[in-house]
Structure 1
Amino acid sequence: MDIDEKIKEWNNLYTSWIAKRKERKQKFITPSGIEVKPLYTPLDLKGNYVDKIGFPGMYPFTRGIYPNMYRGRIWTIRQYAGFGSAEDTNLRFRKLLEAGQTGLSMAFDLPTQLGLDPDQELAFTEVGVVGVSMFHWKEMDLVMNQIPMDKVTTSMTINATAMELMSMYIATAESRGIDKKVLDGTVQNDILKEYIARKNFIYPPEPSLRYAIDLIEYSYKNIPKWHPISISGYHIREAGADAVLEVAFTLADGIEYVRKTLERGINVDDFAPTLSFFFAGYTNIFEEVAKFRAARRMWAKIMKEWFNAKKPDSMTLKFHTQTGGAELTAQQPEINIIRTTLQALAAVLGGTQSLHVNSYDEALALPSEKAAKIAIRVQQIIAYESGATETVDPLAGSYYIEWLTDEIEERAWKVIDNIEKMGGMLKAIERGYPQAEIAESSYRLQKRIEEGDIIKVGVNFAYESDWIGTTEIFRVNPAVRERVISRLKQYKENRDNIKWKDSLEKLRKAAEGNDNLFPYVLDAIKAGATIGEISSVLREVWGEYKEPIIF
């Protein structure tokens, strides 16, 4: 009996079975709206194995970007951290490194992200609240105290002021005699996703995109080990996009950055290997693994066929994953450890290069020290006890996984095609297309939760109870504000005012022209300029962006 006949026989069995024993739902649908069949077989696979799935470390990289993946070394263990003053964050960093973290991931407060000094009126209530206050390069020096900058990799989640923070990091390293050429890490620098999802922009899109490309250009020429952009689907997903939109919008942003960099006459193989990506890891393991595999295959195709990249390294999608903050619940917070474990496992099975696991208390406050250490232990147990690291791409060949990878890819290509017809992602953003699609996706998801189609344990119709727990709530000391404002005043009093004013005037002229801004920002930082002063110059030249109301 061949497989077609056997499937017919099974379908008859299945139909008669569920006629007597009804299933839990009429339809089983993933969080991204993809209907799941009761069974997958070899007949659900599409295309040639070598062309579609292939081998790890080889085009189209579906199975991973390195031949041996975690058999060589495990992913970089990062915990996104930062709060209060530089001293507070330094202490947390050193404790996380002692607990087994292998790379730093720095969070900045809202004033830093929006180009405001802590003594400015708009900054007052937010100093040090959701990240470390970082307004002068000597604050970076305090954050990195006793941390070997030439040995550790550092990721900085910063966008509209990415150049300023990168310059602070360089100034700190050089003050210690460390050449910037040996620095290793990532700066997010993805301004397009700010307009789409996160909304921490300052300037209009056109000059903001120039700013981002300036950083990419300077970095590949002068800081060769550094990743000058982390093209970020994470925030797109957290804003309400489903897995398909997360892939499509992230890759469409990547396409825009590549095109803009190529317009400067730079060879694609010179800068493409330095590009990196950032995705969310959610709880539905199979959809997430398929998402990562589809994104990797799509990016390889884009770089090879759209942009004529020749180096295999230019076609590889290197990505960091953070577990899904939006999936954590304030109710029964301790069970978030189970959610983040599944999310982290999905990222590992999907082939991530770097991973942050959210702490179980993050639906309530910034992570406590205890919760952050448990989050590191989640990664270590997956790495050393689960068996997931012993073979490359262990879920490959699953009929369901391969079908779902194809399905997500096909749906994501349709979204990218729509964006291309609009003239690219920048034009699509101006029309409000990705913003509207995310809003609609978010509405659909929330409706399914409220109707009980998607169960959130402890929240909607499932195992709700009065939870007895002793979750520690971490709060930032409000005395931080006075401390950092006092230091800011001291910095300003001790700098060379002639060099400081001259550096800002040169920056202004560069912003009015077409020169790469990075050397001017770096000089201003070294001359003692603050993030608020540099941003003020750029605001005066470029203006501030007011997002249009889109219905």
Structure 2
Amino acid sequence: MTSISDLDPTLAQMQAELDTLRKELAQWRARYDKGEVRDIAYTNSEKEVAPLYTAMDLEGSGGTAFEVPGVYPFTRGIHPTGYRGKLWTMRQFAGFGSARETNERYKFLLKNGTTGLSVAFDFPTLMGYDSDHPRSEGEVGKCGVAISSLADMEQLFEGIPLDQVSTSMTINGPAIILWCFYIAAAEKQGVKPEQLRGTIQNDILKEYMAQHAWCFPIEPALRLIVDMFEYGSEHVPQWNTISISGYHIREAGSTAAQELAFTLADGFTYVERGIARGLDVDDFAPRLSFFWDIHNDFFEEIAKLRAARRIWARHMKEKYGAKNPRSWIMRFHSQTAGVTLTAQQPMNNIVRVAYQAMAAVLGGTQSLHTNSMDETLALPTEHAVEVALRTQQVLAYETGVPNVIDPLGGSYYVEKLTDDMEREAEALFAQIEEQGGVVPGLETGWFQRKIAESAARQQWEIEQHRRVIVGVNAFENDESALTIPLLKIDEQAARDQADALARLRQTRDNAACEAKLARLREAARGTENVVPFILDCARSYCTLYEIRAALEDVFGAYREPVFF
């Protein structure tokens, strides 16, 4: 056994090495300052980057020298085998026009190697409106697939066994309704709820903060989310009932540190609401997942993901008392940054996406979507989607990147960035507490103002040429943005949806629908979990808006406060 006396010479040697390093750094600094390159460099989040990082930058931290993957606090990854055990899930976000058209795209993606489906819904669906609602005019099928009832959900997954695929659904305000449509569609296939695997975004707090696709006021919306936690943990145990999302916060203009802190703060709020309901944190926390934006600053994004795992693990264990190690683990999906895509020279987007995808993998993502080159102009064509998917496959099978777990662990720069990210997030948590928490911060517009200020700064930097965007404010040419083919959605999808809804209302049992909707209103007025009641409405082919309207009768509609 090593004694203290044995350690003393070692400690003395380490101190001597640090003293030597300090002297060498001082000499290097003198030579560097005489050089011609004197420009100050910054990350995308406007943090100054030193020209050199050494062990001195980690003094008092130690980086992750004594950590391994798969062990608390999971800075280096949540699985001990990394990607050697299993590659990340390769998802492609897809949805346009009608359910039948999107079903064909899904089958194309699965045939070409996609291992998980991600459903993009059109804007009326995101807001809880049927395709024939007056507010849906001009938007049906344009930015995603139109889903107005169980019939549409059945058609969306026709011929795709729901016990054999993992499905992600990007929807928030009416998420509970679409989730029930999906469960009911699986039942029609003979698939039991406990066999379903996937994720529904269902992160309403970031909607009030950044994306603005909501239905109900904050408190009843949070109740619906906890209802899903409760129901899912018992009946749909393989399903992630929320994907706490930084993606849209970052797309709205936040810094990387704000994305990290605001998203984690939302996550902690959901945990607190679940505990307040009386749920055991270990009953629902293992099914919480996250969704991160992967922006252009390569090393900053990797550090963000490493810091996120560490912060989540520490808070879940120490603050919320979770005892199950699975409750400490942050599992997350990543998507390359749509906001970084440019209409100018759209082929450049392929390169941007490739680097962003590599950052996500080096950061240890469990699931990845790569954007298509044309997504800043239109919904992606099959050719563009295939290139985006091949980007992931080349990364997975040709680069050797997945062979080593956390290969940048121990990098002075990455470890310093990781520590800095953690410190900045903790400082932002303190500011959020000063606002009274996430919900009061939303009600006063504090979060919205912070994001808007960051977005304005970034736009100013681009306009002043302080931040170079290739093909936009530098290296420009006369190439038209329309030199690549684009997918165009006509109004036929809207006409088809209106006809289908008319037939549905004629052929279903309308009396049964009204009775189921009445029972849902009654449950919403009380304290019962509403998921079983929404499922009954879905099975009777009540439409999306009919269910939304029934809940709105009780909860009211959300109106954003005016603030400056």
**TM-score w.r.t. length of structure 2:** 0.95
Q: Which residue of 2 aligns with 1:542?
A: 555
Determine if the alignment matches structure 1 residue 19 to structure 2 residue 34: yes
Q: Deviations over 1:269-288 (max 9, x none)?
A: 11110000000011211000
Q: Which residue of 2 aligns with 1:308?
A: 321
CA contact (8 A) 1:84 1:127 kept: yes
Determine if the alignment matches structure 1 residue 101 to structure 2 residue 114: yes
In the TM superposition, residue 12 of structure 1 has moved relative to its aligned partner by 3.5
In 2: Cα distance, 1:21 partner to 1:287 partner: 26
In 1: Cα distance, 2:429 partner to 2:241 partner: 24
Determine if the alignment matches structure 1 residue 113 to structure 2 residue 126: yes
2:232 aligned residue (207, 216, 219): 219
Determine if the alignment matches structure 1 residue 347 to structure 2 residue 360: yes
Q: Aligned in 2, Cα 1:53/1:537: closer, same or farther, shift over 3 Å?
A: farther
CA contact (8 A) 1:290 1:401 kept: yes
In 2: Cα distance, 1:78 partner to 1:161 partner: 23
- Letter of the structure 1 residue corresponding to residue 352 of structure 2: R
In 1: Cα distance, 2:107 partner to 2:479 partner: 33
In the TM superposition, residue 510 of structure 1 has moved relative to its aligned partner by 1.1
- Letter of the structure 2 residue corresponding to residue 97 of structure 1: L
Q: Deviations over 1:127-175 (max 9, x none)?
A: 0110100001011111101111001000000111111111111111111
Q: Which residue of 2 aligns with 1:265?
A: 278
Q: Which residue of 2 aligns with 1:338?
A: 351
Q: Deviations over 1:220-247 (max 9, x none)?
A: 1110000000000000000000100000
Q: Which residue of 2 aligns with 1:125?
A: 138
Aligned-partner SS, 1:155: strand
Where do 1:391-430 residues align within 5 Å?
391-430=404-443
In the TM superposition, residue 111 of structure 1 has moved relative to its aligned partner by 0.7
Aligned-partner SS, 2:118: strand
CA contact (8 A) 2:64 2:409 kept: no
Q: Deviations over 1:36-87 (max 9, x none)?
A: 1111111111546587861100000000000011001100000000000001
- Letter of the structure 2 residue corresponding to residue 19 of structure 1: K
**What CA RMSD, in Å, does the superposition of the two structures yield over aligned residues?**
1.4
| % identical equivalent positions | 47
Where do 1:233-272 residues align within 5 Å?
233-272=246-285
Q: Deviations over 1:232-269 (max 9, x none)?
A: 00000000001000000000000000000011111111
Q: Which residue of 2 aligns with 1:465?
A: 477
Aligned residues: 548
In the TM superposition, residue 216 of structure 1 has moved relative to its aligned partner by 1.4
- Letter of the structure 1 residue corresponding to residue 36 of structure 2: R
2:384 aligned residue (371, 389, 395): 371
Q: Which residue of 1 aligns with 2:540?
A: 527
In 2: Cα distance, 1:49 partner to 1:335 partner: 39
- Letter of the structure 1 residue corresponding to residue 479 of structure 2: W
CA contact (8 A) 1:152 1:184 kept: yes
CA contact (8 A) 2:65 2:410 kept: no
CA contact (8 A) 2:180 2:535 kept: yes
Moved more, 14-23 or 67-76: 14-23
- Letter of the structure 2 residue corresponding to residue 22 of structure 1: V
Q: Which residue of 1 aligns with 2:527?
A: 514
1:59 aligned residue (60, 72, 82): 72
In 1: Cα distance, 2:35 partner to 2:322 partner: 57
Aligned-partner SS, 2:416: helix
In 2: Cα distance, 1:324 partner to 1:230 partner: 17
Determine if the alignment matches structure 1 residue 43 to structure 2 residue 56: yes
In 1: Cα distance, 2:539 partner to 2:306 partner: 43
Structure 1, unpaired ranges of 5+: none
1:438 aligned residue (451, 462, 473): 451
Where do 1:126-205 residues align within 5 Å?
126-205=139-218
Q: Aligned in 2, Cα 1:351/1:432: closer, same or farther, shift over 3 Å?
A: same
CA contact (8 A) 1:53 1:63 kept: no
CA contact (8 A) 1:173 1:179 kept: yes
CA contact (8 A) 1:52 1:62 kept: no
In the TM superposition, residue 124 of structure 1 has moved relative to its aligned partner by 1.2
CA contact (8 A) 2:445 2:563 kept: yes
